[in-house]
A and B are shown apart, each in its own frame.
Chain A
Amino acid sequence: MQRRVVVTGLGVVSSIGIGKETFWKNLISGKSGISEVTSFDTSKYEVHRGGEIRFFDPTDYIPRKKIKGIARASQFAIAASKLALDDAVLSKEVISKGNTTVAIGTTMGEGGMIEEIDRHWSKRGEDDVWGITISKYPCNAISDNVTRALGTKGTSCVVPTACAAGNYSIGFGFDMIRQGVADRALVGGADPFSRIGFTGFGRLYAMSPDVCRPFDKNRKGMMVGEGAGILLLEELESAKARGATIYAEVLGYGLSCDAQHMTAPQVVGITKVIERAIKISGVNKADVSYICAHGTGTPANDKTECEAIKTVFGEATSKISISSIKSMLGHTMGAASAIEAIACCLAVKNGIVPPTINFEEADPVCDIDCVPNKAKEKQVKVALNNSLAFGGNNACVVLKGYV
C-alpha cells in the first residue's frame, strides 16, 4: 500500500511574524521585515540593514532555566516546532508515542557561538577559552534540542546543506514517512542572524543597501535575514483518521549538485533539479501554477533561476506565478526554503500567491510573472519550492493541494 505524505502543521518564526496566522497575513499584504541591524555594530560595514526578528521571546517556548544551554538557532527551531505541533493540534503526549523523525536544515548552525568565542578572543587574547560555549556549537545541537524539548522518538538529525537545507530536510522526512520508518516528521530549517554571513556577503558585494528587489532590473543584491520554519509531515491515512487539517500533499522532491562553483549558480544544475523533482513526483508540468523562487535578489541568481525555469517550462512559463518572499524576509539561510515551503502550503490551501515586493522595473532577463507588489488570488494545483545553495546544492520540493 502506497504511503502518502501530507503537511498538517506549520510553525514560523520570522521577521514579519511569529506563528502561521501573522506570517501569512503580513506575507500576502506585502509587509517588509527589513530594518537596521541591531545585533552587532555595523558601522564598519558598507550596508546596515537586514531581516532581524524583533519580538522573539524564547521564554514563550522554553523553560527559563533551560535557556542558558540552548543557543538561538535551537531556540528558533524549538519555537517553530511547538507552533507547528499546536497548529497540527497534536499534543506532546501524542507526538512522543510512535516514531517521529526530526530533520532540521541550517547554514551556519549555532555559528553565533563561534562569533561569541571570537569576540572574547579578540578582546582578551588567545588564551582565554570559553567553557560551555563551544559545546553549544556543533550544529546537531539544533535537532538534539528540538527532540529533547518535544520528547519525540525517532531519527533526529541536522542537514546543514546551506541555503537549500530546509528542502533537504523536508525530503528526508518525506522519505522516512513513505518508507514506513516514521509516522510523522518535524522538518524544516533554522538560522539566526549571522555576523559571519553578513561579513561574507558584504565582502562579495552581494548585499543590497536598502531593500531586496528580486527580478527587478535594478536589483542590488540579497539581504541577510533570520528565522525558522517547521512543517509537520504526516502519513495521509493517519492524518485523515484524526481529522487533521491538511494543507498540502508532498509529492516528492529532487536534488542536484552543480559541481562547478561554490557561489555561482548554474543553469544546468537548476534545470536538472526542477526536471528531476517533476519527474519523481509524477506531476504534469501543465499543473504547476506557482513557483516559490529561490529569488535572492542578486543579479546572478535571479537571471540564472529564470533561465532554468524557462528551459523547463518553455512558453508555459508565462502561466506560472513565480514570486520571491525573500523580498520581504531577506535571505533566512537554512530556514529560507522551509519558510518558503510553508508559503507554498498556504498558497495552495488558500488560493492566494504571495507577492514579490519592491518591484519597480522589469528586467528582460527575468521576464516572468513575479507577482509584483500585490498578492494575487489564484488556484494553485501544484507548487514548486526552489532552493539553490552554496556549493551548487539544489533542491526542489513539489507540493499539491489536497482535496
Chain B
Amino acid sequence: MDREAGGEGETITGTVPSERSERVDCPIGKYMNKRIVITGIGVLASTGIGKEAFWGALKEGTSGMKPVTLFDTSNLGSHLAGEISDFDPKEILGNKGLRNLDRTTLLVLCASKLALDDAKIEAPISEEDTDYFGVSLGSTMGSVWSISEFDKTALREGPRAVNPALFPNTVINSPASQISIKFNIQGFNTTISTGFCSGIDSIYYAMNMINLYEYNTVLSGGVEELCEQTYKGFHKIGNLSGSKAGNEEINCPFDKRRNGLMFGEGGSIFILEELEHAKARNAHIYGEILGYGTSFDPKSNNICSPKAEGATEAIKLALEDAETSPEEIDYIAATANSTLDCDIMETRAVKNALGKKTEGIPISSIKSMIGETFSASGAMNLAGSLCSLQENLLLPTINYEKRDRRCDLDYVSNEAREAKINKVLVNSFSPTGANSALVIGRYE
C-alpha cells in the first residue's frame, strides 16, 4: 500500500483496520521500495529438523546422506540420499487432518508450522490479518509420488478404484494450497516453478507482492520430497552419483572426485515481512533481503552452460538490485551440487561477476551435507546463510579432498570458520536454464 499517498489513514502500528473493505493496494504504476526482512525460519532436512538442529549440523559439518529406506534401490548403482528418516509429522502438526496428505505436503506443512512458531505468529491466522498474509511456494513437481500412484491405481484396478480424496494431491499447487487451508492464509497462494531455482524465485514473488500490494507478511520457501520416480529417473540418465558403473557414491561439490549429485529432501520456509510491520510487533529479525537477480541461460539445456553467462548475469543483477559492490560480499552460499557442469559453471560465474579482486570471498555448498533438494535447494541455501549471518560463521563444504584446477576458490573445506559476515550472496542455478541469486544482509 502506498501509505503516504493512499490516505486511508492506516498507520504502521501492527494494528489492523477494523473495516476490511478499506483495504487499498498500491496504485498501479507506483513501485514502492519497502524493506523486507525475514522473521521466521522453519526447516526440515536430513541433517536436522528445526532451525537449531539444522544449523547445528551445518556448523558441525554433519552429512545427512544415508541408505534410502523409502523405496528399494537394490537394483541401482546408487543407494544413498539425504532422506529424513526420523520424520514424524504428528510431532509438529498434531494428529488431526493428516490422513490424505502426501510426503511433500507434510514436509511443507511442518516447515511452515516451525516458521510460524519461530516468528511468534499464531496459527491459524486471525480473520483480521489473513487478507494481508500470503503464501508463495517453490515447487516444480508437486508430489510425483502422489501423481503417479493415483494414475497407477487407475491403470491397474480401473478408474473407479481410485480414492477421490487423493485426486487433489495430483495438482502441482496442492502442497501450497494445503498451507493456506491448514493455517488460514487467505491473501494469496501462489506456486512458482523454475526447477532448481524455485525456492529463491518464490521468495522474489513474495517480495513483489509485499512491494506492490498491501500484503505485509508472506510465508515463502521451497519443498521437495525424496521420491522413487525421480530418483530412478535421474539414476537412469546418469545424474546421480554412483549411477555410472565403477563410480563410487560420493557427494563432494567442487572436489575433483565428484561424479554426480545426491538427492536430498526437505522443506525450507521463511516468514517474510515488511520491515515496519515486523518492527511494530517486535519480531526478531534474522536478516534483510537486499536484492534479487535472475537470468535465463538458453545454453543451459539439461547441462549447465560452461560459459556461465546466465549465472554471471544473475549475480550481477542481484548485486545491482541490492546496491552492493562485490567487495561487500562476505560469503557466498553456493548452488554447486557435485556435478561437474554445475560446479564449474558456478566457479566461473562467481569469478566473472565479482571480478579478480574478490576471488578470496569464501564460497561453500551445504549440498555437501543435505544433498540436492531440487525445488527446495535455494531456500535451503537461504536457511544456511541466515545461520552464517547470525553466528558470523562460514559453513563448510564437506568431503572436500581433491582440488580441481577448474574450481580454485576458497570453498571453506571441511570445517566451519569464523568470519565477520554482513552480506551474503545466495546462488541458485538450474541446469535447465533459470539462474537466480539473492543478496541478504544483516539488519541494521
| Chain B positions 208 through 234: 1 when the CB is less than 8 Å from some CB of chain A, otherwise 0 | 100011000000000000000110111
Q: Does B414 contact A (CB under 8 A)?
A: no
Q: Which residues of A contact B30 (CB under 8 A)?
A: 2
Shortest C-beta distance, A118 to chain B (Å), equals: 5
Q: Is the CB of B236 within 8 A of A257?
A: no
Q: Is the CB of B168 within 8 A of A257?
A: no
Q: Which residues of B contact A198 (CB under 8 A)?
A: 159
Q: Which residues of B contact A135 (CB under 8 A)?
A: 233-234, 237, 302
| Chain B positions 189 through 217: 1 when the CB is less than 8 Å from some CB of chain A, otherwise 0 | 11111110010010001001000110000
Interface residues of A in 179-210 (CB under 8 A from B): 179-180, 195-204
Q: Which residues of A contact B192 (CB under 8 A)?
A: 157-159
Q: Does B286 contact A (CB under 8 A)?
A: no
Q: Is the CB of A262 within 8 A of B28?
A: no
Q: A279-B24, A391-B177, A393-B177 are in contact. Are A259 and B191 (CB under 8 A)?
A: no
Q: Does B29 contact A (CB under 8 A)?
A: yes
Interface residues of B in 94-146 (CB under 8 A from A): 130-131, 134-135, 139-142, 144
CA–CA, A180 and B185, complex, Å? 29
Q: Is the CB of A134 within 8 A of B185?
A: no
Please tell me which one of the listed residues B134, B162, B176, B434 contacts residue A144 in the complex, with CB atoms under 8 A apart. B434
Q: Does A115 contact B (CB under 8 A)?
A: yes
Q: Does A304 contact B (CB under 8 A)?
A: no
Q: Which residues of A contact B168 (CB under 8 A)?
A: 262-263, 390-391
Shortest C-beta distance, A296 to chain B (Å), equals: 15
Q: Is the CB of B434 within 8 A of A122?
A: no
Please tell me which one of the listed residues B130, B181, B235, B433 contacts residue A392 in the complex, with CB atoms under 8 A apart. B181
Interface residues of A in 156-171 (CB under 8 A from B): 156-162, 165, 168
Please tell me which one of the listed residues A2, A46, A102 contacts residue B29 in the complex, with CB atoms under 8 A apart. A2
| Chain B positions 23 through 51: 1 when the CB is less than 8 Å from some CB of chain A, otherwise 0 | 11101111100000000000000000000
Q: Which residues of B contact A139 (CB under 8 A)?
A: 140-141, 172, 193
Shortest C-beta distance, B283 to chain A (Å), equals: 23
Shortest C-beta distance, A268 to chain B (Å), equals: 9
Shortest C-beta distance, A123 to chain B (Å), equals: 9
Q: Which residues of B contact A260 (CB under 8 A)?
A: 181
Q: Is the CB of A162 within 8 A of B171?
A: yes
Q: A117-B229, A132-B237, A140-B195 are in contact. Are A156 and B23 (CB under 8 A)?
A: no
Q: Does A19 contact B (CB under 8 A)?
A: no
* Surface stretch bound by B, among A248-256, A313-321, A340-348, A351-359: A248-256
* Surface stretch bound by B, among A30-38, A85-93, A106-114, A368-376: A106-114
Q: Name 5 extra pairs, CB < 8 A, besides A259-B180, A259-B184.
A: A135-B234, A140-B194, A158-B140, A161-B191, A255-B189
Nearest 9 interchain pairs by C-beta: A391-B177, A134-B233, A2-B29, A200-B167, A262-B168, A160-B172, A255-B188, A257-B189, A158-B193
A-B contact pairs, 10 of them (CB 8 A): A108-B172, A129-B236, A134-B236, A135-B233, A144-B434, A158-B140, A251-B28, A269-B186, A272-B131, A391-B178
